[in-house]
Structure 1
Amino acid sequence: MSDVWVTQSRAAGRRPRALSPLREHLRDTFWFAPTAAMAGVIVVWLAAQALDTALVDALREDGDYATLDELLRFAQDAKAVVSAVGSAMMTFIGVVFSISLVAVQMASGQFTPRVVRLFVRSRITKATFAVFLATFVLTLLVLTAYDTTDDPRTVTTVPLVQSVLTLGMVALSLLLFVLYVNATLRLMRISHVIARIAAESFRVIASMPAPAEGARPPGLGSATAWVAHEGRAGVLRDVHIARLVRVARKHGVVLRLIPRIGDFVVPGTPLLAVHGGAAPPAGALRGATSVGVERTYHQDLGFGLRQLCDIALRALSPAINDPTTAVQAVDRIVEFLAALARHPLDAALHRDRAGAVRLVQPVPGWTELVDLGFSEVRGCAAGSPQVTRRMLAGLDDLLLLTHAGRGEPLLRHRALLRLAVEESAPHAADRAFALRPDRQGIG
């Protein structure tokens, strides 16, 4: 009987809310944060300009022209600084952009092309570019606010608050630049890249519906209608769970997602099976599924595991021959599987507020995840005692953490690994050494 993830309906508690796909899609873009920052700094500049105008009007009403004259001198001194900042900021942005391109190129060539997503999703990278561009836009706006007259009796505005705001943005830009360089250097180190991938994978686990004790999939029976995929071909990145549940409840049906998150779908292939009634109108389902050119972390349980395996495989290739990196990847593979060792898998049941199942979503099963984590790495690790020893130790640990019903794939990979080592190592001493479990590989 299949294991199941179930969204529990609590009469007295609060129903878990599905994560918004739009938020995750914006995290996978690089344009949104800088654009929002430039739009926001325009609003801030307008507010600062209003404050400067109000300050000048107040001083003129009080007849305090001496103070107004001092403010004019300060503003003229600050104008030179603002002009220098404006001319230098674009050069600074170019330097930061060059650093990013070099870091991305090195990481994708040394680890796996899929780690580029980590740089795109990096908050500090987006914040740095956003603040730099906002500072540049702010300097241009502040320069337009300077009055041409130096007479305190006729001046209409003195960009005092605007100049101070610009200097504050410059200080913030310098601080972010230091943090950005530190974060970029960390992302160029394989241990931190692997840790980031593992952290993203654990967020997927945390976002999965909570398992309900003794819950089982409902008897859906035969499908009464089908919904085909429309639009472009691509990878199914995620589904809008809350919208699909609302649509299914409104039309009194149960929807069953046919492809898994991460599957490649083409137009015309079945996307949703409808149980218990007619298919909802196409307009109600528009935008409920998202298709892209590559997989994402949002709802894809196996994507992080796929990247860890890619890193391990590249490290074990003859061109790189870096078994220590492969061991670090195996460490996180074992950690990821250990977190799922006793969790229900195979399907996710999403319920409405009344507790009725409205959406059935397939997720990878335990055997599939174990095969994904070990099959390819095991095939390349036979000639590397450091990796085989770590894999054996990891399989032994997982056997202790899982219940009896999940031991078969672990025992199978353990036996196949032993067989591969026996075939690749001609001497008994080498075989015994390579088949000795060790959590550090070779110390």
Structure 2
Amino acid sequence: MSDRRYRRPRALSPLREHLRDTFWFAPTLALFLVCVLWGAADALDTAILDGLQKAGEYSTVRSLIGVAEDAKTIVTTVSAAMMTFIGVVFSISLVAVQMAAGNFSPRIVRVFIRSRISKLTFSVFLATFLLSLLVLTSYDSETNPRQVASVPLVQSALTLLMVGLSLLLFIAYVTQTLQLMKVGPVAARVTKESFHVLAKMPVQRADDTPLPPEVARVRHQGRSGTLRDVHAARLMRVARRKGVVLRLIPRIGDFVVPGMPILAVHGEPDRVPSRWALQSAVSVGVERTFHQDLGFGLRQLSDIALRALSSAVNDPTTAVQCLDRIVQFLAALAARPLGAVHHRDGKGDVRLIQDVPEWGDLVDLGFAEIRGFAPGNPQVSRRMLAGIDDLLGLVPPERREPLDRHRALLVQAVERALPEAAERAFALEPDRQGIG
């Protein structure tokens, strides 16, 4: 049974996460909304003008025409400059993303793609450009207050407001882009995403209730790719209607090819759900995502550390910063139940079983590859030993074995690589900062 309150998966969760991994949805939505906003502002301008003309306030209409004509110069300038500004800003941003991918890991590019500030800035820039074009179409060449048909005063004010918002977002965007070019904020962002996955995942203790016999397997159809996530809510609805239990065979993050079994059906042979209904609930893409992948954050942190420790870069301090975050994440999992996730329906019956990495798998993912570079980098070996010792003080006895194994292997590797006793003693002294 679960050691914490179980939360059923939300139906729109996969769609929301997939949209966060795209860069087209937010700008497209912003362009649509700005068209609606312009239509409302145009109707308001028309209503104000009609009211003044009917009331005979022609002097007021003449004043509004003068104000609108003054604003037209600004709107025209904004329309001409905004697209050029967008091109220059995001060209520089692409260079920054390329540098970050080269210095850290290609998988870090998704941090920029998922950035809310980046999407909001791009969306507001495009919306401001489109709004300025729409407002220019509303200006009337007629200057007679009795015959003028349009005075886009509200629209012009709205354009100026959007320009001000664009400037503020530009400052925030540049600040965030500069932060994401540094390893500390990048590692912190990856760790934060990992904790979001952990918070949403109903990790439970193993259920001793035996499964019904397996009666069918659903094989993957379609393109090859990485299993990104499964629509757990949909699969649970299908399983509840048929009275069966579904079991996900591969883990999230595994590479699947056509013909590979992805779901096992447990229950009565005559109640097997439609294969299309099951297949459509499984999402396969070209790369892993954070949505349901518990180990993806550790994978990225390890990649950053390995690149930093390569002979071409030789930056052990970056590797130590990654180890800090690896230890932080593993410490949060130290006493948490891991293993198969049992998704339950409203009555408490298990309907979907999903495998997640065990404690040993996550420890290996965090330490195994980095440990291979530690003998030649005392800063890394000292930090890793300190991190393992800290984790040994947090985990229950049954979880000590993977940590003890990595500690012993690290000590053996350092002893083989460093023949001098003084150097060995220095490299094997635990230090949370590596070397001060």
Same fold (TM over 0.5): yes
Look up the SS of the partner of 1:146 in the other structure: coil
Given that 1:83 and 1:143 are in contact with CA atoms closer than 8 Å, whether structure 2 keeps it comes out as yes
How many Å separate the matches in 2 of 1:67 and 1:103?
Answer: 51
Given that 1:382 and 1:420 are in contact with CA atoms closer than 8 Å, whether structure 2 keeps it comes out as yes
Give the aligned partner of residue 186 of structure 2. Answer: 193
Look up the SS of the partner of 1:440 in the other structure: coil
Give the aligned partner of residue 309 of structure 2. Answer: 316
Given that 2:9 and 2:232 are in contact with CA atoms closer than 8 Å, whether structure 1 keeps it comes out as no
C-alpha change, 1:293 and 1:333, in structure 2 (3 Å) is same
C-alpha change, 1:433 and 1:398, in structure 2 (3 Å) is same
CA deviation vs aligned residue, 1:152-186 (integer Å, no higher than 9, x gap): 10111210000000000000001100110000000
1:298 has 2:291 as partner: yes
Say which of 168, 172, 179 aligns to 2:161.
168
Give the aligned partner of residue 96 of structure 1. Answer: 89
1:224 has 2:219 as partner: no
Q: How far 1:282 moved relative to its partner?
A: 2.6
Q: Which letter does structure 1 place at the counterpart of 2:109? A: V
How many Å separate the matches in 2 of 1:251 and 1:221?
Answer: 13
Matches within 5 A, 1:240-251: 240-251=231-242
Give the aligned partner of residue 151 of structure 1. Answer: 144
Identify which range, 202-211 or 43-52, moves more after superposition.
202-211
1:261 has 2:237 as partner: no
Q: How far 1:284 moved relative to its partner?
A: 2.4
How many Å separate the matches in 2 of 1:5 and 1:199?
Answer: 24
1:55 has 2:55 as partner: no
Give the aligned partner of residue 229 of structure 2. Answer: 238
Given that 1:253 and 1:275 are in contact with CA atoms closer than 8 Å, whether structure 2 keeps it comes out as yes
Say which of 397, 400, 408 aligns to 1:404.
397
Q: How far 1:7 moved relative to its partner?
A: 8.1
How many Å separate the matches in 2 of 1:134 and 1:146?
Answer: 19
Q: How far 1:19 moved relative to its partner?
A: 6.3
Q: Which letter does structure 2 place at the counterpart of 1:199? A: K
How many Å separate the matches in 2 of 1:145 and 1:38?
Answer: 18
C-alpha change, 1:238 and 1:15, in structure 2 (3 Å) is closer
Q: Which letter does structure 2 place at the counterpart of 1:111? A: F
Give the aligned partner of residue 26 of structure 1. Answer: 19
Given that 1:7 and 1:350 are in contact with CA atoms closer than 8 Å, whether structure 2 keeps it comes out as no
C-alpha change, 1:121 and 1:393, in structure 2 (3 Å) is same
Q: Which letter does structure 2 place at the counterpart of 1:29? A: T
Given that 1:309 and 1:377 are in contact with CA atoms closer than 8 Å, whether structure 2 keeps it comes out as yes
Say which of 320, 325, 330 aligns to 1:327.
320
Give the aligned partner of residue 71 of structure 1. Answer: 64
Unmatched tracts of structure 1, length 5 or more: none
Q: Which letter does structure 1 place at the counterpart of 2:47? A: A
Give the aligned partner of residue 377 of structure 1. Answer: 370
C-alpha change, 1:413 and 1:322, in structure 2 (3 Å) is same
1:274 has 2:261 as partner: no
How many Å separate the matches in 2 of 1:178 and 1:147?
Answer: 35
Identify which range, 250-259 or 277-286, moves more after superposition.
277-286
How many Å separate the matches in 1 of 2:300 and 2:235?
Answer: 29
How many Å separate the matches in 1 of 2:168 and 2:148?
Answer: 35
Q: How far 1:127 moved relative to its partner?
A: 0.5
C-alpha change, 1:211 and 1:362, in structure 2 (3 Å) is closer
Q: Which letter does structure 1 place at the counterpart of 2:234? A: R
Q: How far 1:211 moved relative to its partner?
A: 3.5
What is the root-mean-square deviation of aligned Cα atoms in Å? 1.4
Identify which range, 90-99 or 359-368, moves more after superposition.
90-99
How many Å separate the matches in 1 of 2:227 and 2:130?
Answer: 38
How many Å separate the matches in 2 of 1:201 and 1:412?
Answer: 25
How many Å separate the matches in 1 of 2:94 and 2:187?
Answer: 20
Q: Which letter does structure 1 place at the counterpart of 2:259? A: G
1:106 has 2:99 as partner: yes
Look up the SS of the partner of 1:203 in the other structure: helix
CA deviation vs aligned residue, 1:4-58 (integer Å, no higher than 9, x gap): 868856xxxx856466100000000000011000000000000000000000000
How many Å separate the matches in 2 of 1:175 and 1:269?
Answer: 50
Q: How far 1:268 moved relative to its partner?
A: 1.1
Q: How far 1:99 moved relative to its partner?
A: 1.8
How many Å separate the matches in 2 of 1:47 and 1:405?
Answer: 65
Q: Which letter does structure 2 place at the counterpart of 1:401? A: L
Q: Which has the higher contact order (CA 8 A, sep 6+)?
A: 1
Look up the SS of the partner of 1:410 in the other structure: helix
Q: Which letter does structure 1 place at the counterpart of 2:245? A: V
Give the aligned partner of residue 353 of structure 1. Answer: 346
CA deviation vs aligned residue, 1:236-290 (integer Å, no higher than 9, x gap): 0001111111110000000000000000001111010000024211342243111
Give the aligned partner of residue 203 of structure 1. Answer: 196
How many Å separate the matches in 2 of 1:284 and 1:72?
Answer: 61
How many Å separate the matches in 1 of 2:185 and 2:135?
Answer: 41
CA deviation vs aligned residue, 1:323-358 (integer Å, no higher than 9, x gap): 100000000111111111111111100000000000
How many Å separate the matches in 2 of 1:49 and 1:170?
Answer: 18
Say which of 379, 385, 394 aligns to 1:386.
379
> In percent, how many aligned pairs have the same letter?
66
How many Å separate the matches in 1 of 2:325 and 2:423?
Answer: 27
1:426 has 2:419 as partner: yes
Count of residue pairs the alignment pairs up: 434
How many Å separate the matches in 2 of 1:195 and 1:206?
Answer: 16
C-alpha change, 1:8 and 1:353, in structure 2 (3 Å) is farther
Give the aligned partner of residue 358 of structure 2. Answer: 365
